[in-house]
Amino acid sequence: MAFSLIWVPVAIAPVSNVLFSSGIVLAERTLYLASVGVCLAAGAAAERFLVPRWTMVATATASITLAFAIRTWTRTPAWRDDRTYLLTLLADHPEAYDAHLTAGRVLKGRNSLDEADRELVIARTLFPRDSVVFLEAADVWKRRQRPELAAALRDSARLAYTLPLPRQ
């Protein structure tokens, strides 16, 4: 039981944004490894309290399996195609900067530069340390014939992590 209780914070630590900023507010995929500790704790508790009661074990197992199956069934349409996935991600997690970055890239590719700029501004506001967001915005402003704004955004990209980036 102690191992399972230690497992959860150790697995969450790299993505928790406590030790360092990872750029992800919270994502389902970051909780998978930590859920192993929860499963171990549930197994330890079940072994201690439920093993003599087999009908309770069977009922609990069937209930949990059914709940997860229903959730999987209702979540599956979000994965139909890239567009549906991105729209679902933006609706469910407007705090995810990488969703806005991806939306900005898609809109830029469709030459919807006003909408692309709007999404990239949101992405920069949410996580201003990713130089890619600034570079994408610089490309939008370059296409809009505003080289001075593009240059300022490229400079901001260089300062985002204080790492040197190649000149464009």
Per-residue pLDDT reduced to its tens digit, 133-155: 999 999 999 999 999 999 999 99
Domain limits for position 133:
82-160
100 and 44 within one domain: no
Question: Tokens at residue 158, please?
Answer: 């260089």
Same domain (yes/no): 61, 44: yes
pLDDT of residue 23: 67
- Confirm whether pTM is higher than 0.75: no
DSSP 4-66: HHHHHHHHHGGGSSSSS--S-S--GGGGHHHHHHHHHHHHHHHHHHTTT-HHHHHHHHHHHHH
* Same domain assignment for residues 103 and 46: no
Whether residues 96 and 66 share a domain: the answer is no
The torsion defined by the Cα of 28, 80, 82 and 72, in degrees rounded to 10, comes to 0
The one-letter amino acid code at 39 reads C
pLDDT of residue 168: 52
